[in-house]
């Protein structure tokens, strides 16, 4: 799905938006295509997003506030609106916070640390793998541990799920995600990357952007 999304976004951002909407409506995939498309579009338009937010403090503050409100809105609206709409709202909040993180020099300094850079590079793998780990591996681990207290089970389950997912996300990035991205780039038409886009990509980068670039090799 990732190469196809990169190919569509390379042709036109609207193509990706329309395809994601059609999949969400007819494919029975709920809000996942919208979340997936949002991530791809943020990556494509990163330079423009950071230029707008970093140059306008009030806009960045408003985006951050909206992101926090939307991301944490589930307890306030659960039971009043549909679950799919809640996922869309929390996804929009996550996207807003991601845009702010890409544009804030302070956040970039924090994200430039090695542990944060690793999580950033492997975040897509963490997103895809955590459900499988939670459903398939964590219950077996808890069954073997057999802690009597439910609180101990919760803590051990949380630590185990996070640790296993983070460890598996590294090989997933090198063996699956990175080859998929390269395949998507090769399938894109030669004129996809305009001269302006190439200039933006060659612009100096700092903080987490450099860490991400170095991690990609």
The Cα-based distances of 205 to 49, 161, 165, 214 in angstroms read 14, 33, 29, 11
In this predicted structure, the answer to whether residue 217 has a pLDDT above a threshold of 50 is: no
Note if the pTM is more than 0.85.
no
Domain boundaries, the chain: 112-217
What's the number of CA atoms in the CB half-sphere (13 Å) around residue 126?
Answer: 12
Structure-token pair, residue 85: 């709409």
Residue 149's pLDDT band, with cuts at 50, 70 and 90, is low
- Give the model's pLDDT for residue 212: 45
Across the range 133-148, mean pLDDT stands at: 81
Specify the DSSP class assigned to residue 78: B
pLDDT digits over 14-71, tens only? 777 777 777 766 655 567 777 778 888 888 888 888 888 888 889 999 999 999 999 9
Name the more confident of 97 and 203: 97
């Amino acid at each position: 799905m990732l190469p196809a999304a990169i190919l569509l976004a390379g042709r036109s951002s609207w193509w990706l938006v329309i395809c994601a909407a059609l999949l969400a409506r007819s494919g029975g995939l709920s809000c996942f295509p919208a979340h997936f498309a949002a991530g791809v579009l943020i990556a494509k338009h990163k330079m423009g997003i950071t230029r707008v937010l970093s140059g306008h403090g009030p806009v960045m503050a408003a985006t951050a506030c909206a992101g926090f409100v939307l991301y944490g809105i589930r307890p306030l609206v659960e039971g009043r609106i549909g679950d799919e709409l809640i996922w869309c709202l929390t996804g929009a909040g996550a996207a807003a916070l991601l845009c702010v993180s890409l544009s804030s020099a302070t956040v970039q300094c924090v994200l430039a640390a090695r542990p944060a850079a690793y999580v950033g590079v492997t975040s897509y793998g963490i997103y895809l793998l955590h459900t499988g780990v939670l459903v398939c591996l964590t219950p077996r681990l808890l069954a073997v541990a057999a802690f009597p207290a439910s609180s101990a089970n919760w803590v051990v389950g949380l630590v185990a799920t996070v640790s296993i997912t983070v460890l598996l996300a590294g090989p997933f990035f090198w063996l699956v995600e990175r080859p998929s991205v390269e395949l998507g780039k090769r399938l894109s038409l030669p004129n996809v990357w305009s001269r302006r886009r190439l200039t933006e990509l060659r612009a100096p980068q700092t903080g987490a952007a450099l860490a991400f670039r170095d991690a990609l090799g």
